[in-house]
């Protein structure tokens, strides 16, 4: 068995004495204190990235306390969980302290580090990977004060040929970085403002979804019969019952779920509109979660990755499962469960649109003009979620299914 690491205490760090040779005292998660023969106490973090072992300096004690060293370790591991090398981020942050090295990449990484905690971990990682892939190789080494609109447009044109919507999103990210440069006195104005209208507008697309009750019944039977990984099977069965966004589902944590109260409280930082959201759980949803709890309940995530419990399930897991069951991108997507619920709850079950939109966590005021809050229409939503789950059970079992236009309230 591997040797168990006992976390450090402030007393242990303070009283550690130098020896003839340097030695390490480990705290956990790759963090350790390196004690040198001259009495230096240096924080180091050991980690693996792309299959290679790496190490970064985290400061020295007592300037950096044990608590602060752990905070820096946790930030680095969040970056790792999203495929970002913390060593590269730290290197760029150090460069940012030197005025003559104020390149676009340095300022971009500084901006990313500043706003990292205001985003979901997945979104933060997605932004940085896009910059590393599509922007830094071309203008990353350019002084940010010298970047002009044509240079930015050339970067976007390379992406446009591959994915027009991605090019539009990237223009927004580059603009935010350049405006951050203006706000921190690195350049005078944002040149990306001159690119309005330079890219063609993408054709509006909607997520594919199955909304015909007969086809929904067949889909539900397919989900129940899925023969893949048990965790993915549970996610597939739960998705139509809660109809949250795919990212919200796969990032669900056991600490957010109260099975006795039949509620799932999603914190604001995980929501698209950055507002906490309450999901009432039907009896069927609670049953699925109780079935899964013995397997994953001792960890953080309800649906952990097949490779490690430290990360949630891949964002392609549910989509890939749907494809293996024969549902291609033209007829069903991970987001499609939301459109399915919205359509049938409205047109078949005749639920109030305000209640449906509240459960979808959309930014729509109610009849009195009040903005959404997490408990809005809660009693109605509880009834709706149970009625919805019962309806899905009934059509899955072969109950008579009425066409939309023939159903009466």
pLDDT at 34 over 70: yes
Which residues neighbour 343 within 8 Å (Cβ) at sequence distance 6 or greater? 209, 211
Q: Which of 46, 218, 272, 374 is catalytic?
A: 272
Cα–chain-centroid distance for residue 68? 25
**pLDDT mean over 380-404:** 79
pTM above 0.85, yes or no: no
Cα–chain-centroid distance for residue 102? 30
Contact between 76 and 86 under an 8 Å Cβ cutoff? The reply is yes
Contact between 145 and 187 under an 8 Å Cβ cutoff? The reply is yes
Q: Which of 73, 109, 338, 381 is catalytic?
A: 338
Per-residue pLDDT reduced to its tens digit, 230-252: 999 999 999 899 988 888 888 89
Give the DSSP H or E segment for 196.
none
pLDDT at 408: 36
Per-residue pLDDT reduced to its tens digit, 365-375: 544 444 445 56
Catalytic status, residue 245 = yes
Q: Is CATH 1.10.150.130 the classification given to domain 82-204?
A: yes
Q: Which of 73, 171, 237, 335 is catalytic?
A: 335
Catalytic status, residue 372 = yes
pLDDT at 1: 45
Query: What are the structural domain ranges in the chain?
Result: 1-68, 82-204, 213-406
How many Cβ atoms sit within 10 Å of the Cβ of residue 294?
8
Q: Which of 245, 250, 251, 277 is catalytic?
A: 245
Give the DSSP H or E segment for 37.
none
**pLDDT mean over 333-348:** 83
Per-residue pLDDT reduced to its tens digit, 89-133: 777 666 555 444 688 999 999 899 888 776 767 778 888 999 999
Name the strands in the sheet holding 41-49, side by side, starting at the edge strand that comes first in the sequence: 23-28, 31-35, 41-49, 52-60
pLDDT over 90 percentage in the chain: 30
Q: Which of 277, 372, 377, 381 is catalytic?
A: 372
Contact between 84 and 125 under an 8 Å Cβ cutoff? The reply is yes
How many Cβ atoms sit within 10 Å of the Cβ of residue 280?
20
pLDDT over 70 percentage in the chain: 87
Q: CATH assignment of 1-68, given 3.90.1150.10, 3.90.180.10, 3.40.50.10170, 3.30.160.390?
A: 3.30.160.390
Residue 48 CA to residue 189 CA, distance in Å, equals 40
pLDDT at 80: 86
Helix axes 164-183, 104-115, angle to 10 degrees: 90
Catalytic status, residue 117 = no
Topology match between the domains 1-68 and 213-406: no
Per-residue pLDDT reduced to its tens digit, 351-363: 888 788 888 876 6
Q: Which of 148, 189, 350, 362 is catalytic?
A: 362
**pLDDT mean over 332-346:** 82
Catalytic status, residue 362 = yes
Residue 59 CA to residue 64 CA, distance in Å, equals 6
What CATH homologous superfamily does 213-406 map to? Intergrase catalytic core (1.10.443.10)
Q: How many residues does the chain have?
A: 409
pLDDT at 364 over 70: no
Catalytic status, residue 272 = yes
């Amino acid at each position: 068995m591997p040797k168990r690491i006992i976390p450090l205490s402030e007393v242990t760090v303070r009283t550690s004495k130098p020896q003839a040779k340097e030695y390490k005292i480990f705290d956990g998660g790759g963090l350790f204190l390196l004690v040198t023969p001259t009495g230096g106490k240096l924080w180091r973090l050991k980690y693996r990235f792309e299959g290679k072992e790496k190490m970064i300096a985290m400061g020295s004690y007592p300037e950096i306390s044990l608590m602060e060293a752990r905070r820096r370790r946790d930030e680095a591991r969040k970056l790792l969980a999203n495929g970002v090398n913390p060593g590269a981020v730290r290197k760029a942050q150090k460069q940012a302290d030197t005025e003559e090295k104020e390149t676009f990449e340095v300022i971009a990484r500084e901006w990313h580090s500043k706003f990292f905690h205001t985003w979901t971990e997945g979104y933060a990682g997605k932004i940085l990977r896009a910059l590393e892939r599509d922007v830094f190789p071309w203008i990353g080494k350019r002084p940010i004060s010298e970047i002009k609109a044509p240079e930015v447009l050339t970067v976007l044109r390379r992406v446009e040929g591959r994915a027009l919507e991605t090019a539009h999103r990237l223009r927004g990210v580059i603009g935010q970085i350049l405006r951050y440069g203006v706000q921190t006195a690195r350049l005078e104005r944002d040149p990306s403002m001159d690119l309005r209208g330079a890219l063609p507008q993408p054709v509006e697309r909607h997520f594919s979804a199955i909304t015909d009750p007969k086809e929904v019944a067949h889909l539900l039977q397919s989900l129940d019969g899925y023969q893949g990984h048990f965790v993915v099977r549970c996610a597939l069965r739960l998705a139509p019952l809660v109809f949250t966004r795919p990212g919200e589902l796969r990032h669900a944590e056991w600490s957010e779920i109260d099975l006795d109260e039949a509620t799932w409280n999603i914190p604001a930082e995980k929501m698209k509109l950055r507002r906490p959201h309450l999901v009432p759980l039907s009896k069927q949803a609670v049953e699925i979660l109780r079935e899964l709890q013995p397997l994953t309940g001792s960890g953080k995530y309800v649906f952990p990755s097949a490779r490690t419990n430290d990360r949630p399930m891949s964002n392609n897991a549910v989509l890939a499962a749907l494809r293996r069951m024969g549902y291609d991108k033209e007829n069903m997507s991970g987001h499609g469960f939301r459109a399915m619920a919205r359509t049938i709850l409205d047109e078949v079950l005749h639920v109030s649109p305000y209640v449906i939109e509240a459960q979808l966590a959309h930014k729509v005021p109610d009849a009195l003009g009040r903005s959404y809050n997490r408990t809005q229409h809660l009693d109605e939503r509880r009834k709706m979620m149970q009625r919805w789950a019962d309806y899905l059970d009934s059509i899955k079992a072969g109950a008579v299914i009425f066409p939309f236009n023939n159903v009466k309230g």
